[in-house]
């Protein structure tokens, strides 16, 4: 064998029938029926069947039937057409190399019918991620991210990468991870907010980033992570937040549509995806309160919606035929300091919700330095701590706005996943720092 693999399982076509090829992967299952053995080999694209005959190669046969499950092997052999075998072919082995022998017992099964606890799975994530349904999930995630790049670039956005070690809080709150930065204190960025706004002063007037969020919130729920990923967008020369919302809803539509095209992965996950209708309905904060009050929830004006209230609102909207909906005109006091006011009490901030789950938060931003400093003071922030950020507002910056859009929460809603930890490779939460 010249290489350990020349073909993936799904790449083998009828052109290779009757020829010798090399395949490689993990041993998923072994069936020994005496003179004949079937070994199921798994690779990134699927599985294939190795059929070994004891009489033809007794030593090779004994090696295959005694190898441990999840060991990694490379097999050189004859590719034979077979209507009974998966993929329409089987490999009759001529040579087998054991590349890595798996210990036994396994900490958890890959194709076993008995499901392990989530903590056990996450403790052994390298094996958990071998499962076909998780492979399908992350393949869909990959396609979704691809659609993000394609859509935003078609709208003249350019991709940027901003610092993740910063001198002041991104959002002005207290839920930050502090770290020692030589002789000074620094923070892990809660979002790229300050930097993407600063870029609006450079002439790079449409930017986006596949960003990391670090938030020291002590939540321990199925939809919270302390390290997560998001799509962050900022755009200049806008009239108001509606310009931003149009980009967001079209982005979501393109992501949803791209996922719907992943037919094989959706089949593995047993999911169906129906495309949402555009435009998404807009509800003002006041309209939301009226809907909730009609359903027995007395929400005080100015309060954030609780998780239960968000869920009830999602149920109400689904009955009206709307899975996606914007909530607009939030009270100014509930929004970050950089959110543009709309009068004395309201803001030009919005959230995008899906079936009762907040996926995105955005707004038109303040581009007037004096107003920005006034809002900082109102929010109890020291403007001196944001001097490098405020400097960008002194020398010409256009009206602008943007949003952050959580990737893991989007995948939760898209694929009906019950815990956000399943939607990121190696989750970080209140209690988990490894693997």
Phi, psi (5° rounding) for residue 217?
-75, 140
What's the CA gap between 102 and 104, in Å, rounded? 7
Q: Left (φ > 0), alpha (ψ -120 to 50) or beta: where does 210 sit?
A: beta
Tokens of 248: 């967001």
Burial code (b: 16+ CB inside 10 Å, e: under 16) for 3-33 equals ebebbebeebeeeeeeeebbbbbbbbebebe
Residue 70 is a catalytic residue: no
Choose the catalytic residue: 143, 217, 227, 373: 217
DSSP 8-63: -GGG--GGGTTSEEEEEEEEEEEEE-SSEEEEEEEETTEEEEEEEETTT-HHHHHH
Choose the catalytic residue: 348, 367, 409, 421: 409
Instruction: Look up residue 74 and give its DSSP letter.
Output: E
Phi, psi (5° rounding) for residue 311?
-65, -45
Q: Are 328 and 318 in contact (CB under 8 A)?
A: no
Residue 223 is a catalytic residue: yes
Tokens of 17: 């029938």
Instruction: Look up residue 407 and give its DSSP letter.
Output: H
Residue 358 is a catalytic residue: yes
Residue 271 is a catalytic residue: no
Choose the catalytic residue: 42, 206, 215, 365: 215
What's the CA gap between 298 and 295, in Å, rounded? 9
Choose the catalytic residue: 9, 360, 361, 363: 361
DSSP 290-319: HHHHHTT--PPTTPPPPHHHHHHHHHHHHH
CA distances from 394 to 131, 201, 365 (A): 54, 9, 15
CA distances from 149 to 119, 184, 279, 354 (A): 33, 36, 21, 22
Question: Positive or negative, the Cα torsion across 290, 291, 296, 299?
Answer: negative
Choose the catalytic residue: 358, 373, 430, 432: 358
Choose the catalytic residue: 130, 149, 224, 428: 224
What's the CA gap between 294 and 208, in Å, rounded? 40
Choose the catalytic residue: 42, 69, 206, 223: 223
Residue 95 is a catalytic residue: no
As annotated, the active-site residues are 215, 217, 223-224, 358, 361, 409
């Amino acid at each position: 064998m010249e290489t350990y693999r020349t073909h993936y399982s799904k790449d083998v076509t009828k052109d290779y029938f009757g020829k010798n090829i090399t395949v490689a992967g993990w041993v998923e299952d072994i069936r020994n029926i005496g003179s004949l053995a079937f070994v199921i080999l798994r690779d990134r694209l699927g599985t294939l069947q190795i059929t070994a005959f004891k009489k033809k190669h007794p030593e090779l046969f004994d090696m295959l039937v005694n190898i441990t499950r999840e060991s990694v092997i490379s097999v050189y052999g004859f590719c034979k057409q077979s209507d009974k075998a998966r993929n329409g072919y089987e490999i009759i082995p001529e040579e087998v190399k054991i590349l890595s022998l798996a210990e036994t017992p396994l900490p958890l099964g890959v194709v076993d019918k008995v499901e392990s606890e989530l903590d056990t799975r996450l403790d052994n994530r390298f094996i958990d991620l071998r499962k076909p349904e998780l492979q399908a999930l992350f393949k869909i995630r990959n396609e979704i991210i691809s659609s993000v790049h394609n859509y935003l670039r078609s709208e003249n956005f350019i991709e940027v990468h901003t610092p993740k070690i910063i001198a002041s809080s991104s959002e002005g709150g207290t839920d930050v991870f502090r770290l020692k930065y030589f002789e000074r204190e620094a923070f892990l960025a809660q979002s790229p907010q300050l930097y993407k706004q600063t870029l609006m002063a450079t002439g790079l007037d449409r930017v986006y980033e596949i960003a990391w969020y670090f938030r020291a919130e002590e939540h321990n729920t199925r939809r919270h992570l302390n390290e997560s990923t998001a799509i962050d967008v900022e755009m200049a020369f806008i009239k108001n937040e509606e310009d931003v919302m149009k980009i967001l809803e079209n982005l979501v539509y393109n992501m949803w549509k791209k996922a719907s095209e992943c037919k094989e992965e959706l089949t593995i996950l047993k999911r169906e995806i129906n495309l949402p209708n555009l435009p998404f309905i807009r509800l003002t904060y006041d309209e939301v309160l009226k809907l909730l009050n009609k359903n027995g929830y007395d929400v005080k004006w100015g309060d954030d919606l609780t998780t239960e209230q968000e869920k009830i609102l999602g149920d109400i909207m689904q009955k009206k035929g709307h899975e996606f909906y914007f909530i607009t005109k939030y009270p100014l006091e509930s929004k970050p300091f950089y959110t543009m006011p709309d009068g004395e009490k309201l803001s030009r901030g919005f959230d995008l919700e899906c079936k009762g789950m907040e996926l995105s938060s955005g707004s038109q931003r303040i581009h007037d330095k004096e107003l920005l400093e006034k809002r900082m003071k109102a929010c109890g922030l020291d403007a001196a701590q944001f001097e490098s950020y405020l400097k960008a507002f002194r020398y010409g910056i256009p009206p602008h706005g943007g949003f952050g859009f959580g990737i893991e929460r989007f995948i939760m809603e898209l694929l009906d996943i019950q815990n956000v930890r399943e939607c990121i490779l190696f989750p970080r939460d209140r209690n988990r720092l490894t693997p």
